[in-house]
Amino acid sequence: MAKTVGIGITGGIAAYKMADLVSQLKKDDIDVIVMMTENATKFITPLTFKTLTGRETVVDLWSESLEYKVQHIGIAEELDLLVIAPATANFIAKMAHGMADDLLSTVALANTAPVLVVPAMNSNMYNNSIVQENIKTLQYHGCYIMEPDSGVLACGVEGKGRLPETQKIYEEIIKILNPQRDLQGIRLMVNAGTTCEDIDPVRYIANRGTGKMGYAIAREAARRGADVILVSGKSNLSVPDNLKYIEVWSAEEMCQVMLKHQPACDVIIGAAAVGDFRIAHVAAQKLKKADNTSQVLQLELIGTPDILKEMGKNKRESQIMVGFAAETENILENARQKLISKNLDFIVANDVTMEGAGFAADTNIVTLIDREGDVESLPKMTKDEVASAILDRLVHLLKI
Q: Which helix (H) or strand (E) holds 279?
A: strand 277-279
Residue ranges of the annotated binding site for CTP are 276, 286, 305-308, 324, 338, 342
The rounded distance, in Å, linking the Cα atoms of 291 and 66 is 78
Residue ranges of the annotated binding site are 276, 286, 305-308, 324, 338, 342
The rounded distance, in Å, linking the Cα atoms of 86 and 17 is 9
Type of residue found at 292: N
Active-site residue set: 155
The rounded distance, in Å, linking the Cα atoms of 224 and 387 is 11
Type of residue found at 107: V
Q: How many CB atoms lie within 10 A of CB 8?
A: 30
* CA atoms within 13 Å, Cβ hemisphere of 284: 0
- Close Cβ partners of 257 (under 8 Å, ≥ 6 residues apart): 231, 246, 248
User: C-alpha distances in angstroms, 288 versus 127, 201, 282, 292, 296?
Assistant: 38, 12, 14, 11, 12
The rounded distance, in Å, linking the Cα atoms of 352 and 355 is 8
